[in-house]
Amino acid sequence: MKRVVFTLRRKNINRGLPSLEIPDLDEFKLFIRRRGGALFFLSTLFIGLVAGSVAVNSFSKSTLNALDFLFTTNLPEKLKSGISGAFFASFASDFIFLGAAVFFSLSLMGAVFLPAVTFFKGFSIGVSAAYLVANYGIKGALFYFCIILPGVFVFALILVHELSAGISIYKKVFQNLFKERNYNIKGALSMFMKKSLKNLLFTLIVSAGDAVIWFLFAGLFK
């Protein structure tokens, strides 16, 4: 008579936190190669944010009013013009930064100024936040985080994505000219313009959402 043998699996008595694997040097290099541009522009954005927060104390009120078109914090004017005015004010400000990113990306010497785009965007974010907090305290902080920050944060990510694509096309043009590579510049330019149009569409959507937030909730802080 045949015997039936049951095999019982041994329980894993070493259950606990999963082991952490430290990436090797090749994986780290690959990550930097793929995401290095985005990390660089995020860094310049953060540096600009800190610089703007520190510098706001040295700005006069007339200077802040002159820069308000870029900083999008002019609450009374936006409330007067309604949702359409809030949309155009938000989109016009973002379009300047996005347009500068595209322009500098397509210029061989202009690519040097790409970090300045994110720096100044971060600078404007820092000035807006520090000005509101310094003058209105907790209400200013709530106004910034609830009304201004959502649109600013999403557009900052769009801008970093655009600049990352711009530095990529710049590298290919530079290497073709000076290192005799054979990158397909025409195809790369076509892809870059498609990405730019997508980012422009996303900017329109973000501006529309920003305008809705302003229209519905900004009046609560009047």
- Domain ranges across the chain: 36-221
Cβ-based burial of 206 (10 A; exposed 0-12, middle 13-18, buried ≥19)? buried
Question: How long is the chain?
Answer: 222
With contact defined as beta carbons under 8 Å apart, do 46 and 118 qualify? Answer: no
- The band of 34, judged by pLDDT with boundaries at 50, 70 and 90, is low
**Exposure class string for 55-68: b at 16+ Cβ within 10 A, else e:** ebeebeeeebeeeb
Is 120 a residue whose pLDDT tops 80? yes
Residue with more model confidence, 77 or 93 = 93
pTM: 0.77
Is 1 a residue whose pLDDT tops 60? no
Section 202-213 average pLDDT: 93
